[in-house]
Structure 1
Amino acid sequence: MLTTHTDALPPARTRSTRVPPAAGPGRPRTGPPGRPPGRRDSRRPAGPRTSPTRAVRRRPARPDPHDWFAEQLLLTLSGRRPVHALLGHALPAAYDRLVELAPQAPLRPTGTGAGRYAPAPSVAHCGLCLPRPDVIEAFARIASGERLRALAFRLELGGDARWRCAAVDIGPSTRVW
């Protein structure tokens, strides 16, 4: 039996006739057929597949209620926001207290002399206590330059699932040793 030169060559392989390696018990098949496992198509970005016409929209992370209220109270009590901005976010007693405190602007930045001003106040830290699931008692340390002030407030969860400020108190404005 004589073989010709063409019989000795292996058959030509094309992409469509390529047999993928078998997925054994310890080696699951992870890629598309026709491509060895572990290789990725360089034309396609890595990561989960999403439809090009439908973008995935994620909600921005919502701050915790005590952090949000501390920032809002700081803006109001420093004179950067009017009191009525908190009208729907405060119960009547707390709103009356804010109306009493706001004209004094107890958290406003104070001048440091020689024409320089202190930096705008900011919430340095905010902590909380949960006496009940529907009540948050919070405190905030307000920093303005080297000065540190205390702010305490109480939040209550209403029947409409909204947190409202029920009480506000601010530490003394002068240092007592």
Structure 2
Amino acid sequence: MFAERLLAVLSGERPVHWMLGFTVGEAYEQLVQLAPETPLRSAAGPRPVVRRCTARQPGHREAVEACATIATGDRVRAMAFRLERGRDLRWRCAAVELDGLP
């Protein structure tokens, strides 16, 4: 579900501020820099979709690292993100990475 939310922002379907309550630390700033370029928008064809998303917990239960494959027309892209659980027990995005982008 979170991968779908990130995809909506990075494809230009939703504005960056839609992620305000769902990010922590520098993740929101990462999205502010990435989103204007709409890196996951399909140049032509149907809306980009999450094909697959896998997640794992790296040693402790307060974080989840996930990787998603995104279909954008004829191309398949990769998106990785880290979720961290806060004191309020809500999961928030702490980092985002896309294939081919710093």
TM-score over 0.5 (shorter chain): yes
Partner in structure 2 of residue 127 of structure 1: 54
CA shift for structure 1 position 161: 0.6
CA RMSD, aligned part only? 1.0
Partner in structure 2 of residue 109 of structure 1: 42
* Equivalent-residue separation in structure 2 for 1:106 and 1:96 (angstroms): 15
Q: Paired residues, what number?
A: 100
TM-score by length of 1: 0.55
* Equivalent-residue separation in structure 1 for 2:33 and 2:73 (angstroms): 25
Find the structure with the greater CA-based Rg.
Answer: 1
Pairwise mapping of residues 85-164 of structure 1 onto structure 2 (< 5 A)?
85-111=18-44, 118-131=45-58, 132-164=60-92
State the identity %: 52
Unmatched segments (≥5 aa) in structure 1: 1-67, 112-117
Q: AA paired with 2:6? A: L
Runs of 4+ in 1 over 2 A off after TM superposition: none
**Structure with greater strand share of residues:** 2
Q: AA paired with 2:38? A: A
Partner in structure 2 of residue 166 of structure 1: 94
Partners of 2:57 and 2:63 within 8 A in 1: yes
